[in-house]
A and B are shown apart, each in its own frame.
Chain A
Amino acid sequence: MVAYIARRVLAIIPVMAVVAMFVFLLLYLSPGDPAVVIAGDQATPEDVEKIRQGLGLDRPFFVRFAEWIWQIVHFDLGTSIFTGQPVSTLIAQRIEPTLSLMVITLLFAVITSIPLGILAAWKAGAWLDRIIMTFAVFGFSVPVFVVGYVLAYVFALELDWLPVQGYSPIAQGIGHWLEGLLLPAATLGCVYIALIARTTRTAVLEVLRQDYIRTARAKGVGQIATLFLHALKNAAVPVVTVIGIGVALLIGGAVVTESVFAIPGLGRLTVDAILRRDYPVIQSLVLLFSLVYVLVNLAVDLLYTVVDPRIRY
């Protein structure tokens, strides 16, 4: 077991190395010379050259790569070209809204989608199943920001139930915080819910055909307990897997959702950084999001052994 965990953790290293390489290439290939930008309009070519040497930009690729990695490992993410602030400071300022949004969405999505998927599997072929699956196909097909605008239009503008835009920090009261996140979470969760519900349905449907489900019914276990305990626990591996993979959708979707709802989070930071071509910031964000994604999927891998006793490594 310990060996298994160790192996899984070690397996992250090559993956993150590829990500880091890619991210570094991004900066290396980025158009525009940071030295020119820093030196300003009045600088002479000599000044630029001096700054370039000062930044170490004249040295070979791999030396710079190694140095950059060394900095990253020490949590030095560089400074923003645009604001001049350290990137780590920028990220720290913006992380709360994004983290809140993602966690709320994740909880909301898992709580709604799994029962929906189970329901659809139970009533497979009936109208309830069709409705849920139609919703799922729509969830896949309608882009995040469209969902966002429609939800905002209906629930905030027309019905005036919830705030249209903005974010209220958790420190200023949980009520407002939650209220502000409700629409963004519903928006972001849409694709995610569709994905999990569909996978749950397929997995549970497969399990419901098994002999041990019949045994459970023969023991006098009720319909609900059969579905949620006997069936779901067996169907858990694909469901948990897709919850992990779907985090990529959440990350991508957060970038858009934060724009739609004017939430000052990491997604907004990403969009702003792209529009300003602020490469150190883009770089750090890609690296950070990828790390989160890889770690989530590591957690999923480790969950398998808890969920399914047959899996032993």
Chain B
Amino acid sequence: MPDSLPLLEVVDLQTHFRTPDGINRAVDGVSFTVKAGETLAVVGESGCGKSVTAMSLLRLVPEPPGKIAGRILFQGRDLLALTEREMKAIRGKELSMIFQEPMTSLNPVLTIGFQLRETLRLHEKVDRRTAERRAIELLDLVGIPESRRRMSEYPHQLSGGMRQRVMIAIALACSPKLLIADEPTTALDVTIQAQILDLMTDLKRRIGAAIVLITHDLGVVAEVAERVMVMYAGRKVEEAPVADLFRAPKHPYTQGLLGAVPRLGASLLDAESKLLEIPGVVPSLKQRIVGCVFAGRCPHATDICREAMPALDVKAPNHIAACHHAATEPAAA
């Protein structure tokens, strides 16, 4: 594959759910690309469509009631045009996923060894003994002590951090080209979080996989990602290299998100560095939103914001944002 072609190109992804009281537009026209070996972070509040985007990439959204439209080009092939059988061959091999809840994401009645071997044997025609050996290597790789003994243990015998390591081992078993990590550290203790992130960046470098990291934790983003995409109410509102985004966020929502991060050493009494919160909540996705999705909560909103949907424009090199006022009203931060 030539370097110029992106590994993953998502074009106008729409994932809608039919519910008894209307259609829920969980993801509404999102486009982005991921180059081989890069880490893209997808950030936003809960309920903004991050996880659904991730699930849609693997076509794991239950259909019906869900419906995925648009194009998901992975290594040049449109995943949405594949049969279930072809999709099955890609899942876990070239495109794999780590989930948020390590406590519940492993099957409680199957051994760690079985769950690791299963992936290996599904995608690579290896015999039982080879699978066993490679599974032990994988456990060593993700830093699980006494890997041989762990093979015959069940998930409930491991701690949360250990389980997430097992999940990573399973996800990386077949050296995927792209790893989707949906809030991989949210459910873990802070100290464990750092370890897991280090492990992921380390392994990414070794295997050369690209990562789509879904998170609401901007600290994590700053640490591991190269580019950031900000989502709000099922839409993409801003995308930029990490450094640019943190230095000069263009979209008021991104500015709000950054303002809501506590800074070390800042006193709560100090009015200047007081934690900013974004007033209001994410709008219901069941009505079609006219205009800018953030208009209802935006401090800078004017009439045009409520009437016309802003286009994603280039506001600076490699930096795009969907805001009518972003160019004329640069970030205050």
- A touches B (Cβ under 8 A): yes
CB-CB under 8 A from B99, the residues of chain A are 211, 214-215, 218
The number of residues on chain A lying at the interface, defined by a beta carbon within 8 Å of a beta carbon of chain B, is: 22
Query: How far apart are the CA atoms of A218 and B122 in the complex, in Å?
Result: 12
Q: Decide yes or no whether A276 CB sits under 8 A from chain B.
A: no
Q: Decide yes or no whether A175 CB sits under 8 A from chain B.
A: no
CB-CB under 8 A from B92, the residues of chain A are 218-221
Stretch in B31-39, B107-115, B141-149, B220-228 touching the partner: B107-115
B105 touches A211 (CB 8 A): yes
Query: How far apart are the CA atoms of A271 and B158 in the complex, in Å?
Result: 57
Stretch in A46-54, A132-140, A189-197, A305-313 touching the partner: A305-313
Q: Decide yes or no whether B91 CB sits under 8 A from chain A.
A: yes
Q: Decide yes or no whether A39 CB sits under 8 A from chain B.
A: no
CB within 8 Å of A: which B23-69 residues: 58, 60
A221 touches B107 (CB 8 A): no
B122 touches A221 (CB 8 A): yes
CB-CB under 8 A from B93, the residues of chain A are 220
B109 touches A218 (CB 8 A): no
CB within 8 Å of A: which B207-253 residues: none
CB within 8 Å of A: which B151-210 residues: 154, 156, 167, 170
Q: Decide yes or no whether B313 CB sits under 8 A from chain A.
A: no
CB within 8 Å of B: which A213-227 residues: 214-223
A217-B167 contact in complex given A233-B110, A234-B108, A310-B156, C-beta closer than 8 Å:
no
Query: How far apart are the CA atoms of A217 and B110 in the complex, in Å?
Result: 15
Residue among A214, A221, A307, A310 making CB contact with B105, cutoff 8 Å: A214
Q: B102-141 vs A: 1/0 string, CB under 8 Å?
A: 0011111110000000110011000000000000000000
B108 touches A219 (CB 8 A): no
CB-CB under 8 A from B108, the residues of chain A are 212, 234, 308-310
CB of A118, distance to nearest CB on chain B (Å): 16
Residue among B90, B105, B167 making CB contact with A220, cutoff 8 Å: B90
B96 touches A212 (CB 8 A): no
Closest to B88 in A: A220
Closest to A212 in B: B107
Query: How far apart are the CA atoms of A212 and B103 in the complex, in Å?
Result: 9
A215-B89 contact in complex given A220-B122, A220-B123, A221-B118, C-beta closer than 8 Å:
no
- B interface residues with partner A (beta carbon < 8 Å): 58, 60, 84, 88-93, 96-97, 99, 101, 104-110, 118-119, 122-123, 154, 156, 167, 170
A-B pairs, top 9 by smallest CB distance, nearest first, are A220-B92, A219-B92, A220-B91, A211-B104, A212-B107, A309-B154, A218-B97, A211-B105, A233-B109
- A interface residues with partner B (beta carbon < 8 Å): 210-212, 214-223, 229-230, 233-234, 236, 307-310
